[in-house]
Amino acid sequence: IQALTERQPQSEKKAARARPMSAKAVVVLCATSFFVGLLLSGRMTLLMPPPSGSVGAASSGHGSRLSLFSDHCEHRHKLDEGNPNDIMNEVSRTHQAIQSLDKSVSSLEMELAVERAKQNGGLGAAVPSKRGRRPPRAFVVIGINTAFSSKKRRDSLRDTWVPRGERLRRLEEKGVVVRFVIGHSATPGGALDRAIDVEDAETRDFMRLDHVEGYHELSSKTRTYFTAAVATWDADFYVKVDDDVHVNLGMLTSRLARYRTRPRVYVGCMKSGPVLSQKGVKYHEPEYWKFGDEGNRYFRHATGQIYAISKDLASYISINQPILHRFANEDVSLGAWLIGLEVEHVDDRSLCCATPPDCEWKKQAGNVCAASFDWSCSGICKSVDRMRAIHSACGEGDGAVSNNFAAAAAA
């Protein structure tokens, strides 16, 4: 008794020094305990058979329960025998449930932050939803970065992998939104803007941004695109792709569907190129000194031709866009915005196949590429002239979006 009395103050001191758990950790711990409890208890109290006297009830209302109870007991007996496959399956299902819960918590946190930012006027360039209504649901929003001078490029995509007219609307009904993304000229309402007005009236496939177009403003355009896209569509993923890249929409959506239950996902072909300090060279970085000594390389980030981020990350950019620093190169800027967060970087090489014969050989081998371009040109070299031939050689065919996306969603 004396020994216990002496130990009690020490235990109280240790308890006093214990750090409180975060709300998110408590939710995850509770969920884990719940699923482990289901695994161990076998839900016996919920599946108890009816009293022996109620024969009619057992045959009518409780027949399915008895069958389920019997099946569950048999399943429990197999687990008790220590079958490694059964145990691993249960652990895998529990892990998937925890992952799904973690994503739900992350999405709720971001939605709450967005609402707070809206109330405080912190969304900056965001496009508000009409009359306060929730934006329409989608699986993925694909924004094709384009410029005033790129009409021929846009037409080459409309002739190949970007649907037109009613096919574009039907694709959107399936949850896949595709838009050409463009801002306005330095003189709004001028000839350049009017030309886009005419083209948009015919095609209805533009997303117009409150942004002044310019090559050296790509980081700002990317930031504004994600901000506006989050406010316009409630999607699981937001993709940015250049207008000189070939994309197989079915393969892209099926690959993104693999990460649907995971929070804070950043998908692309990850690279770490050199920081170029010499003035006058392409991709010169004026703020090279921030990346260390001369000759250093950038942190790992997705190459700028095509990449995707999950909803919670796009919401983060939307909320914080006024204070997100812009480097000279747009892909570096996005990587910098995400590098300090709890983000899963997914290096998906299917998003950076080379043009034929590379993507053609992979297609023949059954590994259809999600996106193809030429590294030497940072896109498809002479894309207007070559896009149709590349689509013929490497395209996935009609109906691939519905088939691949449906199969991935079911899995």
**pLDDT score for 81:** 56
Alpha carbon separation from 347 to 50, 56, 261, 269 (Å, rounded): 54, 60, 17, 5
Encoding tokens for residue 377?
A: 């040109």
Token pair in block for residue 202: 């015919």
Q: List, in sequence order, every beta strand (DSSP E) within 28-151.
A: 137-145
Give residue 44's pLDDT.
Answer: 42
Residue 307 lies in a domain: yes
**Gap between the Cα atoms of 237 and 266, Å rounded:** 10
DSSP 247-310: E-HHHHHHHHHTTTTSSSEEEEEEE--B---STTSTT--TTGGGG-STT-BPPSEEEEEEEEEE
Q: Which CATH number does the domain housing residue 202 bear?
A: 3.90.550
Phi, psi of 37 (to 5 degrees): -65, -40
Q: State whether residue 107 is helix, strand or coil.
A: helix
User: In order along the chain (411 residues), what is the average pLDDT of each group of 10 residues?
Assistant: 45 47 64 64 46 44 44 51 67 71 65 54 43 85 97 98 96 96 94 97 97 90 96 97 98 96 96 92 91 90 98 96 93 96 97 97 96 97 98 88 61 50
In a domain, 111, yes or no: no
Q: What is the predicted pLDDT for the residue at 215?
A: 79
Domain span including residue 218: 137-271+301-410
pLDDT of residue 90: 72
Evaluate whether residue 230 is within a structural domain.
yes
Q: What is the pLDDT of residue 220?
A: 95
Is residue 149 domain-resident?
A: yes
Asked whether residue 290 is assigned to any structural domain, the reply reads no
Residue 18 lies in a domain: no
Residue 336 lies in a domain: yes
Domain count, the chain: 1
The pTM for the full model equals 0.71
Does residue 221 fall inside a structural domain? yes
Q: Residues of 118-133 as b/e, b for ≥16 C-beta within 10 angstroms?
A: beeebbbbbbeeeeee
